């Protein structure tokens, strides 16, 4: 098997993963109802494995890409990010 390398942004990877997942759903549940459809179970299984790998890669990349505060560990949730924003806003208010 030949391997290739592709560089994508996190947003592009997430979009590609969603589109691939939607296509797999169509192949598994909608296409079999169409006349002349030929079922290919090994391809469906391979597609599901690839989508899972893409999702895991996107999840890892999202965690790495989060901004760091003063050299500490990345913020791990939207809640932490919102709290940091609120604190900055409070400090910047006059009076």
For residue range 38-66, what is the model confidence (pLDDT) as tens digits?
A: 999 999 999 999 999 999 999 998 887 65
Closest CA to 39 of 24, 51, 27: 27
Q: The pTM is what?
A: 0.62
Residue 79 is predicted with a pLDDT of 47
State the average pLDDT for the chain: 81
Dihedral (Cα; 65, 67, 70, 76), 10-degree rounding: -90
- Report if residue 3 sits inside a domain: no
Query: Can you tell me the distance from the alpha carbon of 47 to that of 32, in angstroms, rounded to the nearest whole number?
Result: 16
- Report if residue 45 sits inside a domain: yes
Domain extent at residue 38: 10-92
Whether 33 shows a pLDDT value over 70: the answer reads yes
- Report if residue 68 sits inside a domain: yes
Count of the separate structural domains present in the chain = 1
Mean pLDDT value of segment 13-34? 96
- Report if residue 5 sits inside a domain: no
Helix, strand, coil distribution of the chain in percent, nearest 5: 65, 0, 35
**pLDDT band (50, 70, 90) for residue 82:** low
């Amino acid at each position: 098997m030949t391997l290739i390398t592709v560089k994508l942004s996190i947003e592009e990877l997430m979009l590609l993963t969603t589109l691939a997942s939607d296509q797999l759903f169509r192949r598994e549940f909608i296409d079999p109802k169409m006349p002349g459809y030929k079922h290919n179970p090994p391809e469906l299984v391979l597609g599901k494995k690839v989508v899972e790998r893409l999702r895991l890669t996107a999840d890892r990349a999202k965690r790495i890409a989060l901004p760091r505060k003063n050299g500490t560990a990345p913020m791990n949730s939207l809640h932490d990010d919102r709290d940091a924003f609120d604190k900055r806003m409070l400090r910047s208010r006059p009076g």
